[in-house]
Structure 1
Amino acid sequence: MKTGIILLAAGRSSRFGSDKRCAPWPGQTCMLKASIENALQSGLPCYVVLHEGDQSILDHCIDDGAEAGVCPDAARGIGDSIAFGVHANQDWDGWIIARADMPWITAETYRVLASHLEDNDCARPIDEYGQPGYPTGFSKEHAFELMQLHGHRTEARLIPDAPYVNVMIGDPMIHSDVNRPEDLPHSA
């Protein structure tokens, strides 16, 4: 089964105040590069979804070993970016939908979710208290639904409320993203 990571990086960072993808990150040149590196260390293919005007970032993604594409409708919302990424990778058997502003997600988390998709149609990471987080995973059975997302509708709405989708991940970072400069690590 070929499962890959759709890394969503097409937002405009309005709450951050500047392009957070380029924010300095410990051990890397920037936050986006850290997210790509963690995804690629999983051994899974990675496809980065960008917005218009990102040609230089697209080139850097490819140089770093990821595939990338510019979503022409990214400004309409995250749903359009998800649909674009899945459509561009229809040959995959499953997709892990990840956010580039969650650079703490580990390669192991990606591998565990991909493994869960071998026997299940959805994967949702949960913590020890049962609280869901990100990234999420979907098998090919959900391709049509994922490609129909638009605007601010996310993939999370497609996950059934059923115990079989839950994957225990012992990492609280499944809840942590970067929205404002104060969310960056202090050493960044």
Structure 2
Amino acid sequence: MTSSSRWTGILLAAGRGRRFDASGKQDKLLQVLADGKSVAQHSALNLLAAMTHVVAVLRPDNLELANQLQAMGIECLICHDADAGMANSLKHALRATADSSGWLIALADMPVVKPSTLIKLFDTLQAEAGIVAPVYQGRRGNPVGFAHEYLLHLLDLQGDVGARSLLQSHPVTQVEVNDPGIHQDIDTPDALFSYQHPAGKANA
């Protein structure tokens, strides 16, 4: 039972991004987009548009990213076993915020999710839903949200699939959004190039 009315946004930012750079030398989350802000900063700003309390989960070796996010007022949680899978990062954040009423979980490599999408998800989560997920053109995407009642299920997660298994095994309130960004992440240099040169596209 939660003793708090606080809701928490979780920004998962502890991945290595090996598809972006197998050597690990270039962190995709620190790559700069057209306006001079990093990928992770954009993702964080979008989450902050919906939530007043946001934490980020980072690897211990990513001091530059920690500095960027802390300067935005985000609490950074260091996950020492993040390399063992996304579930470890998520559970680290959940344990640190276990008194929350629920969580909106965003990925730091998805910088073009519209703030309006995050606000709509959060409103739905607060109003009625145990689990929320956005849907665009019939396909689910990220971020996803969970009420406190799912905490123990979330803490049982293993490996690198995040909370996907819960969305497959429990009722989900699907939130229709006009937002292709819920399907778009920066996994490769080509994807980054398309975000750095948006050709007039807007994130509104």
Normalising by structure 2, we get a TM-score of: 0.85
| C-alpha distance in 2 between matches for 1:126 and 1:29 | 27
**Of 60, 68, 72, which aligns to 2:76?**
68
In the alignment, residue 38 of structure 2 is paired with which amino acid?
A: C
| C-alpha distance in 2 between matches for 1:13 and 1:63 | 23
Q: Secondary structure at the match of 1:137?
A: strand
Answer yes or no: is the 8 Å Cα contact 1:76–1:150 preserved in 2: no
- The alpha-carbon deviation at position 86 of structure 1 amounts to 1.2
- The alpha-carbon deviation at position 88 of structure 1 amounts to 1.3
Bigger Cα displacement from structure 2, 113-122 vs 58-67? 58-67
Quick one: percent identity of the two aligned structures?
30
**Superposed CA RMSD:** 1.8
- Corresponding residue for 1:98? 106
**Of 98, 112, 115, which aligns to 2:123?**
115
- The alpha-carbon deviation at position 163 of structure 1 amounts to 6.9
Assess, with a 3 A threshold, how the Cα gap between structure 1 residues 160 and 48 changes in structure 2: closer, same or farther. same
In the alignment, residue 74 of structure 2 is paired with which amino acid?
A: A
Matched, 1:41 2:49: yes
C-alpha offsets along residues 66-111 of structure 1, whole Å, 9 cap, x if unaligned? 1111111100011111111111111211111111000011221111
**Of 39, 44, 63, which aligns to 1:31?**
39
In the alignment, residue 134 of structure 1 is paired with which amino acid?
A: N
- The alpha-carbon deviation at position 33 of structure 1 amounts to 1.1
- Corresponding residue for 1:14? 18
User: Where in structure 2 are there 5+ consecutive unaligned residues?
Assistant: 199-204
Assess, with a 3 A threshold, how the Cα gap between structure 1 residues 75 and 162 changes in structure 2: closer, same or farther. closer
**Of 71, 88, 93, which aligns to 1:85?**
93
Answer yes or no: is the 8 Å Cα contact 2:100–2:148 preserved in 1: yes
- Corresponding residue for 1:4? 8
- Corresponding residue for 2:162? 154
- The alpha-carbon deviation at position 115 of structure 1 amounts to 1.1
Answer yes or no: is the 8 Å Cα contact 1:10–1:50 preserved in 2: yes
Count of residues in correspondence between the two structures: 187
Q: Secondary structure at the match of 1:68?
A: strand
| C-alpha distance in 1 between matches for 2:44 and 2:83 | 22
Runs of at least 4 residues off by over 3 Å: 160-164
- The alpha-carbon deviation at position 162 of structure 1 amounts to 7.0
| C-alpha distance in 1 between matches for 2:13 and 2:106 | 9
Answer yes or no: is the 8 Å Cα contact 2:20–2:189 preserved in 1: yes
Assess, with a 3 A threshold, how the Cα gap between structure 1 residues 81 and 163 changes in structure 2: closer, same or farther. closer
In the alignment, residue 151 of structure 1 is paired with which amino acid?
A: G
In the alignment, residue 197 of structure 2 is paired with which amino acid?
A: S
Normalising by structure 1, we get a TM-score of: 0.91
Assess, with a 3 A threshold, how the Cα gap between structure 1 residues 163 and 77 changes in structure 2: closer, same or farther. closer
Matched, 1:182 2:190: yes
C-alpha offsets along residues 49-70 of structure 1, whole Å, 9 cap, x if unaligned? 1012123422321111111111
In the alignment, residue 123 of structure 1 is paired with which amino acid?
A: V
